[in-house]
Amino acid sequence: MSNKDIMLVVSAHAADYVWRSGGTIAKYINLGAEVHVVILSFGVRGESNDLWKQPEQTAENVKRMRKAETFQAAEILGIRNIEFWDYEDYPITFDRQREDRLVEKIRQVQPNIILTHDKFDVINPDHNKVSEYVFNCSVMSNSNGVEIGETKTTTQMQIFGFEPHQTELSHYKPGMFIDITSTYDQKVKAMECFQAQGHLIEYYKQRAFMRGNHARRLSGNKSYKYAESFARYFPVVGERFV
């Protein structure tokens, strides 16, 4: 891992990036990488069920609470560059204007790594739409023919997909395991910020433990206790097997 790494994380909802990649993000930041996070929606309509159980709840109040939660989580993970685009969820929709906005963001950041949702989530169509959106915009960001202001086109970056919650049902296949042993405690503290989805905290603790087991078995490195997994959008390219 190089301290020249630039990572762009695109999260459909306010907590997705924490559940699925919080340990990896914190690890990259701790090692000197530049990390940018874009939260497309707060998940007011579809990701905040527990908050809606409170008497006389309103959409604006749910949004305020979700924003406060994810700001707190981002601070714990060490994230300094975070944007909230405040799109409506369930469903999230994308048009030409929103495509241009993300292309411009990708060109501004010039990432060599993008983390976002994997290509298929059997339960959450917002995640699928975001996956397609990010991929399409990454392709456009590489094209000289897509003119957006004075932005400079990008070179091909690696794209990695979050592990979906319904892993087996979504036919998810891990293509990369990242050891997060050193940042596991940060991830847990960040997850604990989200009152709206508290039931997921234990699930993702167990998932990190299980993926740590896989990382140990595949690598032979017995120091790996916790890990996160990601799908690869593209094959690895190099001059030798590694």
Whole-prediction pTM: 0.96
Nearest to 40 by CA among 94, 103, 111, 104: 94
Write the pLDDT tens digit of every residue in 202-230.
999 999 999 999 999 999 999 999 999 99
* Helix, strand or coil, per DSSP, at residue 78: coil
In a domain, 238, yes or no: no
Asked, for residue 109, whether it belongs to a domain, the answer is yes
Cβ atoms of residues 164 and 212 within 8 Å = no
Q: For residues 174-190, give the mean pLDDT.
A: 98
Number of domains in the chain: 1
Residue 242 lies in a domain: no
Where does the pLDDT of residue 242 fall: very low under 50, low under 70, confident under 90, or very high at 90 and above? low
On whether residue 237 sits in a domain, the answer given is no
Cβ neighbors of 95 (< 8 A, separation 6 or more) are none
- 128-157 CB burial, b ≥16 within 10 A, e <16: bbbbebbbebbebbbeeebeeeebebbeeb
Q: Beta strand pairing status for 158-162 and 227-232?
A: antiparallel
Q: pLDDT by residue (tens digit) across 30-43?
A: 999 999 999 999 99
State the residue range of the domain holding 103.
6-232
List the alpha helices (DSSP H) in the chain.
Answer: 16-30, 49-52, 59-77, 96-109, 125-141, 184-191, 200-219
CATH at residue 80: 3.40.50.10320
| Amino acid, res. 224 | Y
In a domain, 239, yes or no: no
